[in-house]
Amino acid sequence: MEHSIIMLCIWFFFFSIMSESSTSLDTLAASQSLHDGETLVSAGGIIEVGFFSPENTTRRYLGIWYSNVSPVTVVWVANRNKPLANTKGVLKLNEDGTLELLNDGNNTIWSSNISSKAVSNPIAHLLDSGNFVVRNGHETKDDDALWQSFDYPGDTLMAGMKIGWNLETGLETHLSSWTSVDDPAVGEYSEKIDLRGYPQSIKFKGLDIKSRAGSWNGLSLVEHPITSSQIMLEKFVINEKEVYYQYDLVDPTMFIVYKLTPSGPGQLLYWTTQRRTLQIVLIGDEDPCANYAFCGANSICSSNGSPATCECLGGYVPKSPDQWNMAVWFEGCVQRNKSNCENSYTDGFLRYTQLKLPDTSSSWFSITMNLNECRKSCLKNCSCTAYANLDIRDGGTGCLLWFNTLTDMRKFLQSTQDLYIRVPASKLDLVGHGNFKKKTVKIVVGVIIFGLVTCGCLLILKYPGTTRKLYNKRYKIRQRKEDADLPTFDLSVLANATENFSTKNKLGEGGFGPVYKGKLTDGQELAVKRLSKKSGQGLEEFKNEVSLIAKLQHRNLVKLLGCCIEGEEKMLIYEYMHNQSLDYFVFDETKRKLLDWSKRFEIIRGIGRGLLYLHQDSRLRIVHRDLKTSNILLDANLNPKISDFGLARSFFGDQVEANTNRVAGTYGYMSPEYAARGQFSVKSDIFSYGVIILEIVSGKKNREFSNPKHYNNLLGHAWTLWTKNGALELLDEVLREQFISSEVMRCIQVGLLCVQQRPEDRPDMSIVVLMLNGDKLLPNNPKVPGFYTEIDVKSEGNSSSTNHKLGSVNELSITMLDAR
Mapping DSSP onto H, E and C, the string for 361-418 reads CCEEEECCCCHHHHHHHHHHCCCEEEEECCECHHHCECEEEEECCCECEEECCCCCCC
Q: Examine residue 709 and state whether it is found in any structural domain, yes or no.
A: yes
Residue 553 in this model has a pLDDT that exceeds 80: no
Q: What is the pLDDT of residue 17?
A: 36
Q: What is the pLDDT of residue 554?
A: 86
Q: What is the pLDDT of residue 568?
A: 79
- Structural domain for 404, as ranges: 289-431
H helix intervals, 52-157: none
One domain for residues 693 and 596 = yes
Residue 803 in this model has a pLDDT that exceeds 80: no
Beta carbons of 682 and 622 less than 8 angstroms apart: no
- The residues facing 247 across adjacent strands are 234
Q: Examine residue 185 and state whether it is found in any structural domain, yes or no.
A: no
- Total domains, the chain: 5
What is the pLDDT confidence band of residue 801, given thresholds at 50, 70 and 90? very low
One domain for residues 733 and 792 = yes
3-state SS assignment for residue 507: strand
Indicate the DSSP class of residue 748: H
One domain for residues 595 and 527 = no
Q: What is the pLDDT of residue 412?
A: 85
Q: Of 464, 480, 506, which marks where a domain is finished?
A: 464
The chain-wide mean pLDDT, for the chain, equals 80
Q: What mean pLDDT do residues 5-24 have? A: 39
Angle among Cα 552, 558, 563 to the nearest 5 degrees reads 80
User: Which region among 237-246, 558-567, 602-611, 718-727 has the lowest average model confidence (pLDDT)?
Assistant: 558-567
One domain for residues 296 and 396 = yes
3-state SS assignment for residue 327: coil
Question: Which residues fall within 8 angstroms of residue 74, CB to CB, at 6 or more apart?
Answer: 52, 54, 63, 64, 65, 156, 184
Active site residue 626: yes
CATH number at residue 506: 3.30.200.20
Q: Of 575, 606, 623, which marks where a domain is finished?
A: 575
Alpha-carbon distances of 329 from 296, 297, 299, 308, 334, rounded to whole Å = 6, 9, 9, 11, 12
One domain for residues 32 and 132 = yes
Residue 654 in this model has a pLDDT that exceeds 60: no
The string of pLDDT tens digits covering residues 398-425 is 999 998 899 999 998 777 789 999 988 7
The string of pLDDT tens digits covering residues 661-676 is 455 668 789 888 888 7
CB count in 10 Å sphere of residue 734: 14
Q: What is the pLDDT of residue 703?
A: 84
User: Which region among 19-28, 276-285, 287-296, 425-434 has the lowest average model confidence (pLDDT)?
Assistant: 425-434
One domain for residues 496 and 376 = no
One domain for residues 547 and 631 = no
Q: What is the pLDDT of residue 816?
A: 33
CATH number at residue 805: 1.10.510.10
Q: Of 553, 575, 597, which marks where a domain is finished?
A: 575
What is the pLDDT confidence band of residue 341, given thresholds at 50, 70 and 90? low
The string of pLDDT tens digits covering residues 219-239 is 889 887 654 466 888 999 999
CATH number at residue 70: 2.90.10.10
What is the pLDDT confidence band of residue 534, given thresholds at 50, 70 and 90? low
Q: Examine residue 219 and state whether it is found in any structural domain, yes or no.
A: no
> Quick check: pTM over 0.75?
no
R_g of the chain, CA atoms, integer Å? 32
Q: What is the pLDDT of residue 548?
A: 66
Q: What is the pLDDT of residue 541?
A: 65
One domain for residues 651 and 503 = no
Q: Examine residue 158 and state whether it is found in any structural domain, yes or no.
A: no
One domain for residues 701 and 787 = yes
Q: What is the pLDDT of residue 260?
A: 94
Q: What is the pLDDT of residue 680?
A: 83
What is the pLDDT confidence band of residue 435, given thresholds at 50, 70 and 90? very low
One domain for residues 297 and 425 = yes
Higher pLDDT, 473 or 503: 503
CB count in 10 Å sphere of residue 88: 14
CA 226 to chain centre: 25
Q: Examine residue 445 and state whether it is found in any structural domain, yes or no.
A: yes
- Spot the catalytic one: 151, 626, 644, 685: 626
Q: Examine residue 7 and state whether it is found in any structural domain, yes or no.
A: no
One domain for residues 600 and 532 = no
| Nearest by Cα to 396 from 381, 415, 377 | 415
Q: Examine residue 449 and state whether it is found in any structural domain, yes or no.
A: yes
Residue 498 in this model has a pLDDT that exceeds 90: yes
Residue 697 in this model has a pLDDT that exceeds 60: yes
One domain for residues 349 and 448 = no
Q: Examine residue 355 and state whether it is found in any structural domain, yes or no.
A: yes
